[in-house]
Amino acid sequence: MPQHATATTRLRVPSVAARATGLTKIYGESETRVVALDSVTVEFGRGRFTAIMGPSGSGKSTLMHCMAGLDTFSGGSARIGDTELSGLTDRQLTRLRREKIGFVFQSFNLLPTLDALENITLPLDIAGRKPDQEWLELIVGTVGLSGRLRHRPSQLSGGQQQRVAVARALAGRPEIVFADEPTGNLDSRSGAEALGFLRDSVRELGQTVVMVTHDPVAASYADRVVFLADGRVSDDLPAPTPETVLDRMRLFDAKGRTN
Ligand SMILES: Nc1ncnc2c1ncn2[C@@H]1O[C@H](COP(=O)(O)OP(=O)(O)OP(=O)(O)O)[C@@H](O)[C@H]1O
């Protein structure tokens, strides 16, 4: 193929931060066999904020864990950028997580003895990486905690603690951030603070975020909602609002669940 054709093709291909192709995860055997992911194919666009929703047991956590290299899978492919996860050793997976992935958990997971700034830079310190000072300042500016950086987690509200956790996930400028129910422990106002920061990290800093949530309001901060049901992608909603997300959820309930 001539070189210019390759370049043109490349330009037309939308940039994908992570991709699952025919991703299958089976737990257990015979009577205890559970197909948690049933050949899931989905792409997470770079610089986009995607929410994953679905009923309890539909496979949301399993999908996130397999995509983030936290769990192995039974078949298909999971890629972060150009890296295929199947076949990587535990050591390679650890390195991939450290270098390319940011994590935000429901329970913040901040170290109580460190102040906010030390918590933000901790993963880089552990990895022996020097923080990119300009990037760090950008994150700290966006997180809106400049007066609180020397406070310990116990001196911060839940929403502020989760913003510190999001800043920590972003500090290494990861390829993708996976957030697992980030507002699950927050009241609606604190949740809005954390979600606003996640959204700003995508819109203003060009980051990529994939978030599992049960909350239609939280999902409406995303650019797109992928719905799972019974381990399969059942719906894909662009430009969600709380109302359109609720409508899709009601539609699904009306159709009835198969498990
Ligand atoms: N370690 C495991 N061993 C066996 N089965 C499991 C395991 N983890 C998950 N499952 C099963 O896989 C299916 C998908 O679970 P998963 O936790 O991914 O769902 P989920 O959509 O995240 O649910 P929730 O919203 O309740 O967190 C469920 O049927 C669950 O019981």
Domains detected in the chain: 47-70+89-255 (3.40.50.300)
Q: Which residues line ligand 1 (CB under 6 A)?
A: 27-28, 34, 36, 54, 56-62
Q: CA-CA distance, 248 to 237, in Å (whole number)?
A: 8
Per-residue pLDDT of the chain (259 residues), as tens digits, is 444 444 444 454 559 999 999 999 999 999 999 999 999 999 999 999 999 999 999 999 999 999 999 999 999 999 999 999 998 999 999 999 999 999 999 999 999 999 999 999 999 998 888 889 999 998 988 888 878 999 999 999 999 999 999 999 999 999 999 999 999 999 999 899 889 999 999 999 999 999 999 999 999 999 999 999 999 999 999 999 999 999 998 887 776 554 4
**Which residues lie across from 156 on neighbouring strands?**
none
ipTM for the assembly: 0.97
Pick from 23, 24, 26, 27 the residue to mutate for probing ligand 1's pocket: most ligand atoms within 8 Å of its CB: 27
pTM of the entire structure?
0.91
How many Cβ atoms from other residues are within 10 Å of residue 208's Cβ?
24
Least Cα distance to 165 among 175, 176, 153, 173 occurs for 153
**Which residues lie across from 125 on neighbouring strands?**
none
Q: Where are the alpha helices (DSSP H) in 171-236?
A: 188-203, 216-219
Q: Whose CA is nearest to atom 27 of ligand 1?
A: 56
